[in-house]
């Protein structure tokens, strides 16, 4: 998808500094995925794993 969009971009946007292509939806989606990943990791590692009894220390 991204390749197609960049492939025809040079036709009207050769300089590339003016950001006409503005995939705010994709950015939001990635942002949401990112937050889910971070929260899951915090839960799995810091709460479930480190919070349990008998942490193996050696």
**Where on the chain is the footprint of other proteins (CB under 8 A)?**
16, 19, 21, 23-24, 26-27, 30, 34, 37-38, 41, 45-46, 49-50, 52-58
Shortest Å, Cβ 1 to other proteins? 13
Shortest Å, Cβ 27 to other proteins? 5
Q: Is 16 left (phi over 0), alpha (psi -120 to 50) or beta?
A: left
Q: What span, in angstroms and rounded, lies between the C-alpha atoms of 20 and 26?
A: 15
Shortest Å, Cβ 30 to other proteins? 5
- Closest CA relative to residue 2, chosen from 29, 21, 28, 15: 21
């Amino acid at each position: 998808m991204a390749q197609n969009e960049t492939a025809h971009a040079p036709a009207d946007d050769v300089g590339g500094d003016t950001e006409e292509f503005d995939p705010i939806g994709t950015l939001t989606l990635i942002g949401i995925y990112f937050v889910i990943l971070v929260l899951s990791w915090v839960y799995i590692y810091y709460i479930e794993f480190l919070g349990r009894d008998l942490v193996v220390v050696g």
